[in-house]
Amino acid sequence: MSASAPTADFATRNRELNKTHAMAAMRARAGRIVSGIEQRRRRLVADRVRRLAPGVVVDIGCEDGWIAEAYVQHVGRLILADLDADVLANSPLHGHPKVHTLVADALQPDALQTELGARGADVIVLSALLEHLPDPHAALAALAPQLAPGGRFVIYLPADGPILFAKALLKRSRLGGLVRGLSLEPAPGHLHRFTRRDVARLLRPHGVIEELCFDPVCLGYLAVVRRA
């Protein structure tokens, strides 16, 4: 798969970010509150995948496949795709008979298309990914054709407005130190902030929005979008 210069730069930034802010490392040092929030995000995404009983699932920006672990037994085949080969290599799902790992770019899914063939994917999971991409619209437009007819995106997006407000309160009250594993700084690597209206506007051109809800525990949006 060829990569343009901007894509190569983005891949480099992504790998550097994973060295300092990898979710696996953050989970390892997180306290009860942060772990609970992450466990809920995992459950919300995995529940939606399991409900669809898909044959082929692609989890893009999966890092080490922690979320995919929660649904892999309920799918026929799983492709874990990430720009960072190192985090893929460390996945606990590495070597699983249903799982194939793929170093791939959401904006240039040529390698993914080759892997899927003409059938396409039943589900593409984009969990906490689109906010990191230079052009989320372009990514969705590139990925939608990789879905089989009637296939679905399962998407999680953080609601940075409420998250940053909560962090500001913790910082001002000096209570942030009590929440182990929580950084009070703005989320690193986030290039976009989304409101519910922004999420709907982003997703609407790429299919039928079957679900769009805000989760007050995760402070994020869950969406299921069916390819028209």
Q: pLDDT tens track of the chain, all 228 residues?
A: 223 334 557 666 666 665 555 555 555 555 677 778 889 999 999 999 999 999 999 999 998 899 999 999 999 999 999 988 888 888 899 889 999 999 988 777 888 999 998 899 999 999 999 998 989 999 999 999 999 999 999 999 998 765 554 555 555 665 555 455 555 455 667 888 899 999 999 999 999 999 999 999 888 999 999 998
Return the pLDDT at 64. Answer: 87
Return the pLDDT at 189. Answer: 72
Return the pLDDT at 85. Answer: 86
Which of 129, 166, 111 has the alpha carbon at shortest distance from 17? 129
Return the pLDDT at 16. Answer: 61
3-state secondary structure of 27: helix
With contact defined as beta carbons under 8 Å apart, do 148 and 126 qualify? Answer: no
**In the chain, what are the domain boundaries?**
5-226
CA distances from 52 to 49, 59, 148, 165 (A): 5, 14, 13, 34
Q: For 115, how many CA atoms within 13 A lie in the half-sphere containing its CB?
A: 22
Return the pLDDT at 190. Answer: 81
Return the pLDDT at 177. Answer: 53
Determine the number of helices (DSSP H) and then strands (DSSP E) in the chain.
9, 7
Beta pairing class for 147-158 and 208-215: unpaired
Helix axes 136-143, 196-203, angle to 10 degrees: 40
Tokens of 135: 């052009």
CATH class of 5-226: alpha beta
Residue 125, amino acid: V
Q: Burial code of 185-219, b = ≥16 C-beta within 10 A, e = fewer?
A: eebebeeebbeeeebeebbeebbebeebeeeeebb
